[in-house]
Amino acid sequence: MFNLAFKNFNEILDMGGHGIYVWSVYFIGISIIFISFLIAKKRIKEVQKKIILKNASS
């Protein structure tokens, strides 16, 4: 069950001709998730900056 399904690295990339589809889906899907993580983190930083500025000025 935990054996690798493919013999070598090229086969993993190719996947019997379907490699393009599989890897592009995973690449795009995972990068979307990753980017949304980055955006969320950036938002937190922006809000924190705003709060600090507000409290500094008042």
Partner 1 sequence: MLGWTWGLLFAPQDAVQGNSYRIIFLHVPSVIFAELVYFFMAICALMHLVWRVKLAAYLIKSAAPIGAMITFIGLFSGSIWGIPTWGTWWQWDARITSTLILFIMYLGILTLHGSFSNLEKADRLMSILVIIGVVNIPIIKKSVDWWSTLHQPASISVSGSTSIDPSMLYPLFISVIGLGFTLISLGILSSRSYILSREKNKKWALKHV
Name the site residues for partner 1 (rule: CB under 8 A).
Answer: 1-5, 15-18, 21-22, 24-26, 28-30, 32-33, 36-37, 39-41, 43-44, 46-48, 50-52, 54-55
Burial (CB < 10 A; 0-12, 13-18, 19+), residue 31, is exposed
| Structure tokens belonging to residue 43 | 């938002």
Number of residues that this document lists for the chain: 58
Closest approach of partner 1 to the CB of residue 23, in Å: 9
Please say whether the beta carbons of 39 and 32 come within 8 A.
no
- Least distance (Å) from partner 1 to the CB of residue 10? 14
**Residue 58: CB minimum distance to partner 1, A:** 10
